[in-house]
Amino acid sequence: MSASILYIHGFNSSPLSHKASQLIALMERLGLAAQLRVPALHHHPRQAMVQLEAAIAELGRPLLVGSSLGGYYATCLAERHGLKALLVNPAVAPHRMFDGHLGPQQNFYSGETWELTHDHVTALAELEVPAPQDPQRFQVWLQTADETLDYRAAQQYYRACALRIQAGGDHSFQGFAEQLPALLSFAGIGADTYQAIDFSRL
């Protein structure tokens, strides 16, 4: 099976997010669109995990690229299946952050409204795994000015992994397009495939 990528978006996000759109555009330009999946995840973790397991089965052994809450899902799945994961400003123990946030939610992209319940939080807690210990399988990209999550929680949790910490930035991860060569390399896609591309223009 050739190198493939499963992109896992974050909380109330979608395949229309900036990072997902950049990755989709790049893979299309490289002629590798068939090797990428960017599912629009259900808001309930149990249903989202069913979607992600199906995508993994379809792709074989993809690189998991998880943003924010998607990073939490990716960590669980990478440990479950022995896959590589690249985590971008990942959420750590998100079930502990939702106190006071239960109730109506709206997806930033689709406009869909839904209710965040205790069952969502319980389902998230069920996915928690011990801190990964494999720097060969895990890359963690953090920006220190993330306004949504304290990067130090991920820095501590993933301390045994390969950490890339940039000063400044924000939760969406500024400059993601320029970092895509490193993502492709980690996925096992050869540099000759993309050396002619100006990543700053994606």
63 within 8 A of 188, measured Cβ to Cβ: yes
Q: What is the pLDDT of residues 67-123, one digit of tens each?
A: 999 999 999 999 999 999 999 999 999 999 887 789 999 998 999 999 999 999 999
- Integer angstrom CA distances of residue 128 from 33, 77, 85, 93, 164: 31, 10, 15, 7, 23
132: helix, coil or strand? coil
Q: Is the pLDDT of residue 1 over 70?
A: no
Chain position carrying tokens 């299946």: 81
Among 32-36, 121-125, 194-198, the least confident range = 194-198
| DSSP state at residue 179 | G
- CA 22/CA 193 separation, integer angstroms: 17
The pLDDT of residue 112: 92
Query: In 10 A of CB 99, how many CB atoms?
Result: 8
The Cα angle at residue 200 between residues 107 and 21, in degrees rounded to 5: 25
6 within 8 A of 61, measured Cβ to Cβ: no
Q: What mean pLDDT comes out for the span 24-40? A: 95
The mean predicted confidence, pLDDT, of the chain is: 94
Q: What mean pLDDT comes out for the span 120-146? A: 96
**What does the block give as tokens for 73?**
């899902």
Residue ranges per domain, the chain?
Answer: 5-201
The pLDDT of residue 200: 82
Report the DSSP beta bridge partners of residue 81: none
5-201 is classed CATH 3.40.50.150? no
Q: What mean pLDDT comes out for the span 180-184? A: 95
Q: Give the helix/strand (H/E) hosting 23.
A: helix 18-29
Residue 65: pLDDT band with limits 50, 70, 90: very high
1 within 8 A of 61, measured Cβ to Cβ: yes
| DSSP state at residue 130 | P
